[in-house]
Structure 1
Amino acid sequence: MANGRRVHSTEWVDPSDVRIYKARVHAIADSEDSVFASYDCQHGENCILMIDKSTMRVSSEIGRMPGNSSKNMVPTKLTYVSDMGILLGSSVTSGAFGFSGYIRLWDPRTGNVVWETNEPGSGRSSRFGDSFADVGVDLDELLLFKICSKSGDLAVADMRKLSDDPWVYLKEKNPSMRNVGGNNGDNFVIHCYRKQVFIGREGELEVWSRVEGNENEGIASEEMYRRNYVDKVTDSERGVIKKLEGGWDRLFVTREDVEGIEVWQSSYNSGVVAVL
């Protein structure tokens, strides 16, 4: 009530108002002086808010979208690429017609999109119909990775040379290590850490490492990386991998419907320790 009159709420949002009400946070990234957080609201609108670390106040808004289609859904992954001064966001959704999503790069200073790709439908992918299921960023090498939802293949793109179709699909020379189908795109997870690419396929945990002698070669090499398994068969039977995160010389793994966290430590005799 206000001055004896009932005030009715409305779903309308002022485009000039950077605040978002009744919102959920989906992803967070940070730079030296700012924090980036992607939000979506009950009415479907979403955006990324840039928060100043010194004042803890919103300094700007990036990429407000209606969220009614796969191309406009809230970013579920955010990464700030400090060497390039850009913010990378991605979103993937799946349904009866397969996977779809986008990868988008913003300039936080202007809020403008500097590069983007949409799968399927953008016409930029040489593998139409094999949309990505997850995306990862190697901040050390400035490389962008995606894993395909149908084939399970891993592709890489140089972030300094992005084009309409920048992807190079990596090939494994060892026949025993090659993919046998894509399993299920719902259960692919990518995480880049210390110049390596870790992938969870269902319950299996694998790593792609740079091949010695290819450090200075061009990005167009299909054999730049070599694939290997991190775990054993008994480890892969614990459950579907849902989240990967690296820290120091350890890799942290969570699995679907499994309590606790697995901690993998890098060593010649690597193993897993369950942390409850």
Structure 2
Amino acid sequence: MPPFSCSTPSNGLHPAKMDSNVVTINVGGQIFQTTKQTLALAGPKSILSAAAKSQLAHLGEHFVDRDPELFSVILSLLRTGNLPSKAKAFDLQDVISESQFYGVESLLVNSVSNPSQFDAFNLQKSLVLPLNGRDAPSAIAATPFGSLHVAHGSKITSFDWSLGRKKTILTQFTAVDSLLPVSPAVAAAGATDFSGLQILDLENGAVRETLNWENVTRSGSTVQAIGSSGEHLFVSFESGRRNSNSILVYDLQSLSPVTEIGHNEIFGADLDSAIPATKLKWIPSYNLLMASGSHGGPSGVSGNIRFWDIRTGSIVWEVKDKVDCFADVAVSDNLSAMFKIGVNSGEVFYMDLRNLDDDKSWVCLGDRRKMLNGKKEGVGCKIESHGNQVFCTKKGDIELWSEVLISSQKKSNDSLGERVFRKNLMGRMKDTGGAKITNLAFGGNKMFVTRKDQQSIEVWQSSVRGF
């Protein structure tokens, strides 16, 4: 029997007298009535949309042999765009299977894992995802709606948006240092000890393509960092002999090279040129690429942060950081600010980006007295921005920084005014602490955390209607 069958009315009414906008569906013996407009929200490929169209020719009752209680959840999702509270009574995987049958999984994803539902002040550790093997995660990458890819040892494990299904593939890498989703089933992966960037088919465990940088010495080119915009893929390469580096820009769809920026050939003791970019971040509002990298030597740690205009291949703005150089740096497009965590002090600093022409300096949000203590309290700390907040790891804890808006504060570029940021500790007392945090990633309404020597991923999530 097809998913839907149609029977003629048995109530004595002539079909012409029935409301042609109302669709009657019998699911497992239970009658549901809704409108063609509601069913059309399922999309043209859904069998529900097909039922609405067939009503034009058959003003009867459609029958589908499925669970009526689960269908009521799907119908509520169509009507409101959200899952009803009664969805909590069902296993999420059952709801997912039903949404796939009716062809509305994309609506379910949007309802359960919509990024707009991310509430930084309401995050709670809700789940721990175990990994196969003995290797701790070396890199993690999340997609906008909450699916996750984790590199651990020579393997990459992918979790779907519901985190209920996972798949593991074996790669040619000993360990992956850089990982970036290109699409739900494709990822770019690279390592600092393996030549070339690999584009991986995560469904079949195959290498689709390998991207290499042809440097002057014709030695292998290792990957130091990966980034992307809506149109481009950015890759920071360093030659195998470590005497040259460059950032290559590729078309994200075709993976064909577009341009090369920041090509450095190193001669003598030119330390600035010797620093490859180890973090790449696209800033949409400015149409600029942020590239940062640091280098440790006898005199301490020094680094540079450059903002590149990829259309012209020129540096628009540059910061050379030597005094309490950054252990990690993040750019917030929403806040129009750049943040770092000092390698010596372990404190958070910010720099306003609303007027790049100004001579800027770092503003310390913590204790400036720690800047020169030489203890290197920030080594290994991570800092990331997501939405309107900034997250900074401090050993096993996470600090949450947000801007306090003052009513008298002027926001125009002519008079920027003073900005105030406030620190909060992240999570409930029972969720905080533990081994040193090694990675942070954000996707959908979730934050993902990995810790040193642990073969698992923590999932921190805001409370969501339905599940």
TM-score greater than 0.5 by the shorter chain: yes
Q: State the 1:232 CA deviation.
A: 5.7
Instruction: Classify 1:231/1:71 alpha carbon distance in 2 versus 1 (closer, same or farther; 3 Å).
Output: farther
Question: Quick check: 156-165 or 201-210, which moved more?
Answer: 156-165
Q: Report the equivalent of 2:379.
A: 186
Q: State the 1:142 CA deviation.
A: 2.0
Give TM-score scaled by structure 2 length: 0.46
Q: Report the equivalent of 2:105.
A: none
* Whole-angstrom distance in 2 between the partners of 1:267 and 1:213: 29
Find out whether 1:238 has 2:434 as its counterpart: yes
Q: State the 1:136 CA deviation.
A: 0.5
Structure 2 residue corresponding to 1:41, chosen from 232, 236, 239? 239
Which residues of structure 1 form unaligned runs of 5+? 1-16, 121-128, 173-177, 269-276
Q: After the TM superposition, list the runs of 4 or more consecutive aligned residues in structure 1 that deviate by more than 6 angstroms.
A: 178-183
Find out whether 1:257 has 2:456 as its counterpart: no
Q: State the 1:80 CA deviation.
A: 1.1
Per-residue CA deviations over 1:60-109 (Å, capped at 9, x if unaligned) read 10101136655221111001112111111001233453321110111101
Q: State the 1:237 CA deviation.
A: 4.4
Aligned partners of 1:70 and 1:102 also within 8 Å:
no
Which residues of structure 2 form unaligned runs of 5+? 1-211
Structure 2 residue corresponding to 1:198, chosen from 391, 394, 397? 391
Find out whether 1:165 has 2:360 as its counterpart: yes
Letter in 1 for 2:334: D
* Whole-angstrom distance in 2 between the partners of 1:186 and 1:75: 18
Instruction: Classify 1:221/1:142 alpha carbon distance in 2 versus 1 (closer, same or farther; 3 Å).
Output: same
Instruction: Classify 1:266/1:96 alpha carbon distance in 2 versus 1 (closer, same or farther; 3 Å).
Output: farther
Q: State the 1:231 CA deviation.
A: 4.1
- Which one has a larger percent helix, Structure 1 or Structure 2? 2
Equivalent position SS for 2:379 = helix
Structure 2 residue corresponding to 1:76, chosen from 269, 278, 287? 278
Equivalent position SS for 1:71 = helix
Find out whether 1:103 has 2:297 as its counterpart: no
Report the number of matched residues: 238
Equivalent position SS for 1:36 = strand
Q: Report the equivalent of 2:181.
A: none
Q: Report the equivalent of 1:57.
A: 256
Instruction: Classify 1:76/1:257 alpha carbon distance in 2 versus 1 (closer, same or farther; 3 Å).
Output: same
* Whole-angstrom distance in 2 between the partners of 1:147 and 1:23: 29
Equivalent position SS for 2:335 = coil
Q: State the 1:208 CA deviation.
A: 0.5
Letter in 2 for 1:202: K
Letter in 1 for 2:296: S
Instruction: Classify 1:111/1:217 alpha carbon distance in 2 versus 1 (closer, same or farther; 3 Å).
Output: same
Equivalent position SS for 1:156 = strand
Q: Report the equivalent of 2:147.
A: none
Higher relative contact order (CA 8 A, sep 6+): 2
Structure (1 or 2) with the larger CA radius of gyration: 2
Q: Report the equivalent of 2:337.
A: 143
* Whole-angstrom distance in 2 between the partners of 1:186 and 1:251: 22
Letter in 2 for 1:34: H
